[in-house]
Chain A
Amino acid sequence: MNFLFDEDQDALRDAARKLLADKATLEAFHKHMEAGSTHDAELWGLMAENGYLGIGIPEEFGGAGMGALNQVVVAEELGYCLAHTPYTASISGAAEAIMLAGSETQKQAHLPGLASGELIGTIAYFEANGRHDAAGMQAQVKNGKLTGTKVPVMDAEIADFAVVSAQDERGALSLYIVRLDQPGIKRQSIKTIELHRKLAEVQFDQVEAELLGGQGSGAELLDQLLNRMAILVAFEQLGGAQRCLEMARDYALERYIFGRPLGTYQGIKHRISDMYMRIELARSNCFFGAWALNSSPEDLPEAAALARGAACDAYEFAAQENLHVHGGIGFTWEANCHMFVKRMRLLDALLGGRMLWRERLFKALQAKAA
């Protein structure tokens, strides 16, 4: 047993952090917000160039074949600096879906492009009625043509294709690959509290849809995909939470109140210690998730829910309390605190919040006990 990352991952982390510290600064982030840009294209290009996008993608499909243990390291660093890239949608989402369910041809057609960053993919599984289960799904594929609406879809405006869940003729759920440059597709961006990552409603009207995975196996595949994404996203959350902790600590050291550093007051010190406690506890669950993702599929349902639940909790606490520790300045647009609060909410919302994942965990435990 070994419950820690190895030197390889530590080295990867150092390298990624260095690159991101230079390129993905919070100042740059502010600029992107003001400009309303879809993503930081320069950073995306650099990440591709350095091989960070293809870490989890096998070598025969243009990736580095380094597996999930290395992939999560990058996800965590991206979360730490709030990277403004389509990583979550394209790599944690679309690439995972194609690796999970794609045929040899589909993998050849998509994975090399995703790894090189030239192709951007996304996941479209949720609908305006608030459902993504088979019974509530309205998107439908008839004779190979998809009709329906998905919302919210991350990075839809810049994505080349989406992995879409829809009912087939027999009412069973299947996954499809849908190119987004077809006539009959409308992408309408939606307003959200997170001002960087762009979300959209996507309407499909009789567009070509290519089956991904077995006919009727969509529910099962989506379930597995959500587990995989939950673990990758949990590392982004962990990175963000860690950054909030460091921001709060730094501010508590630098700000003087009543003649002494803010951090000497236990009301503040203990709050920051609690941030640390929750983050470290969540980190352990995330490690377990990374390991399950890498090499223990039978543990995935439980491990994913454990990582997700703890990471959502830790990030919410850290982002909110960091803002609070900053006082009035924390509430301003100028300060960086609110951007973490908003990213935290985005990552919470994307895959459904804790209530959903706790129910999923409960079911995983029941299944294990049976």
Chain B
Amino acid sequence: MDFKDTPQEAEFRAEARAWLDANAKLKDPNSSEGFGMFSERENPDMIKRAQAWQAKKADAGWACITWPKEYGGRGGTVMENIIFNQEERRYETPPNVFGIGIGMAGPTIMTHGTEEQKKRHLPPMARGDIIWCQLFSEPGAGSDLAALRTRSERQGDEWVVNGQKVWTSGAHYSKWGILVTRSDFDAPKHKGLTYFVVDMESPGIEVRPIKQMTGGANFNEVFFSDVRIPDTNRLDAVGNGWSVAITTLMNERMSIGTGMNLAPADAFDELRRLAESAYLDGAPAIENSLVRNRIAEFYTRLKSLELTGYRTLSYISRGAMPGTESAVLKLAGGILLQEMSAFAMELQGPLGIEHGADASFNHGLFQDIYLGIPAMRIAGGSDEVQRNVIGERELGLPQENRVDKGVPFKDVPTGA
């Protein structure tokens, strides 16, 4: 065990830092641009900036560090990836809109795709040229994803898809999507699914924005009317969509979970600055022992997230399967950020109700987090789903009695 860099790692870190110094600006701690979690619908300019940054990284060999070179990565190690991420977060960079592609679609294609599919999709994904969205959830299928009913029917070398997806983040700027459909309604629920990659410009796809509680609209509903998908865009076997989807969901949990390990740390620096400037009952808040205690408690929890993230990645670098540690990270991270942002708003007194970049404290950062964080506790497997995952997969506790298994999907009860 050693929490310090080896000489090679230190060299890698220096190299990363030199490249970042030459290509990006260090964050100015006093002018936080804002966290902006789901706050506004992404505008084309922001997407362009994000793509330009990703392409720059890719061209210099800093994108998808652990991916093989032939698929647009660096062929580097998990540790190198950790180091680059640690360094990159010190710089001002555009929001990352590639999480669904690189974090979820990429590993799924890597596992289940044909060589042709990998060669075609992975390099432009790594470079940010093509942005991906995830067409999984439906009005009747969220946590219970396998209840989905978007229908796919084979016609020769093509499939015809009809149905509706919902909560599709970034569908409005994504060029491709990963899609799970039901190809067999007579098969049991988990057996009749088939998984595709789909060109979002295909005729018959309609994307409509949905406004969120933040006021922004990062997600959408997506309608499929007789959309034709070539069979060459099917991932894995017909009827095997559930196991492909599980790969995506595991990677989603990993990518949100390990992505989560540093988010509270960023907010924490702001929290400390806030406590130094805020007053509580006529005295500097920072001198109040309740405030100090709470801040130390948050720090204890966020360090444990950060360190657990690294520990998880270390396991994986030793060849272990991503386990339930990422469920722990996602669950604990959402709760921590919710409590931290509420605490910060309380420190602001009556001004805690302000919102927006002109707010008196922290450019409205904590209000942004506070408004966005409920989504973190729902999307990508809700808190309850994570607790089931830990209880059942990690600890071997039995599933509840289920009425949806072993019967044809069309006979499974629905609320409607």
Interface residues of A (CB under 8 A from B): 1-6, 69, 245, 249, 252-253, 260-261, 263-266, 269-270, 272-274, 276-277, 280-285, 287-288, 290-292, 294-296, 305-306, 309-310, 313, 354-355, 357-359, 361-362, 365, 369
Chain B residues, Cβ within 8 Å of A266: 384, 387-388, 400
A276 touches B395 (CB 8 A): yes
Q: How far is the CA of A359 from the CA of B293 in the complex (A)?
A: 6
Q: How far is the CA of A246 from the CA of B387 in the complex (A)?
A: 16
B387 touches A281 (CB 8 A): no
The one of A261, A264, A269, A357 in contact with B387, judged by C-beta atoms closer than 8 angstroms, is A269
Closest beta carbon of chain B to A293's beta carbon, Å: 11
Interface of A is mostly: helix
A3 touches B397 (CB 8 A): no
Chain A residues, Cβ within 8 Å of B399: 264
The one of B3, B300, B384 in contact with A305, judged by C-beta atoms closer than 8 angstroms, is B300
A288 touches B303 (CB 8 A): yes
Chain B residues, Cβ within 8 Å of A276: 324, 328, 390-391, 394-395
Given the interface pairs A4-B318, A296-B3, the reply to whether A359 lies near B328 with Cβ below 8 Å is no
A281 touches B305 (CB 8 A): yes
A69 touches B304 (CB 8 A): no
Q: How far is the CA of A308 from the CA of B140 in the complex (A)?
A: 45
Is B368 located at the chain interface by the 8 A CB criterion?
no
Closest beta carbon of chain B to A301's beta carbon, Å: 12
Given the interface pairs A269-B391, A285-B307, A309-B300, the reply to whether A280 lies near B328 with Cβ below 8 Å is yes
In the complex formed, the residue of A with least CB distance to B298 is A358
Closest beta carbon of chain A to B342's beta carbon, Å: 19
Closest beta carbon of chain B to A342's beta carbon, Å: 24
A284 touches B1 (CB 8 A): no
Q: How far is the CA of A296 from the CA of B4 in the complex (A)?
A: 9
Chain B residues, Cβ within 8 Å of A4: 1, 311, 314-315, 318
Chain A residues, Cβ within 8 Å of B410: none
Is B28 located at the chain interface by the 8 A CB criterion?
no
Is B375 located at the chain interface by the 8 A CB criterion?
no
Is B296 located at the chain interface by the 8 A CB criterion?
yes
Chain A residues, Cβ within 8 Å of B315: 4
Chain A residues, Cβ within 8 Å of B304: 281-282, 284-285, 306, 310
Q: How far is the CA of A4 from the CA of B307 in the complex (A)?
A: 11
Is B221 located at the chain interface by the 8 A CB criterion?
no
Is B30 located at the chain interface by the 8 A CB criterion?
no
Closest beta carbon of chain B to A224's beta carbon, Å: 19
5 closest Cβ contacts across the A-B interface? A284-B307, A358-B296, A263-B397, A281-B304, A273-B390
Is B308 located at the chain interface by the 8 A CB criterion?
yes
Q: How far is the CA of A369 from the CA of B269 in the complex (A)?
A: 11
B2 touches A295 (CB 8 A): yes
Chain B residues, Cβ within 8 Å of A290: 1
**B residues 243-293 touching A (CB-CB < 8 Å):** 272, 289, 292-293
Pairs A–B under 8 Å by Cβ, sample size 29: A1-B6, A2-B1, A3-B1, A4-B1, A249-B395, A249-B396, A261-B397, A264-B401, A266-B384, A266-B387, A270-B387, A272-B391, A273-B387, A273-B388, A276-B394, A277-B328, A280-B325, A283-B308, A284-B307, A285-B307, A291-B2, A291-B3, A292-B3, A305-B296, A305-B300, A306-B304, A309-B297, A355-B293, A359-B292
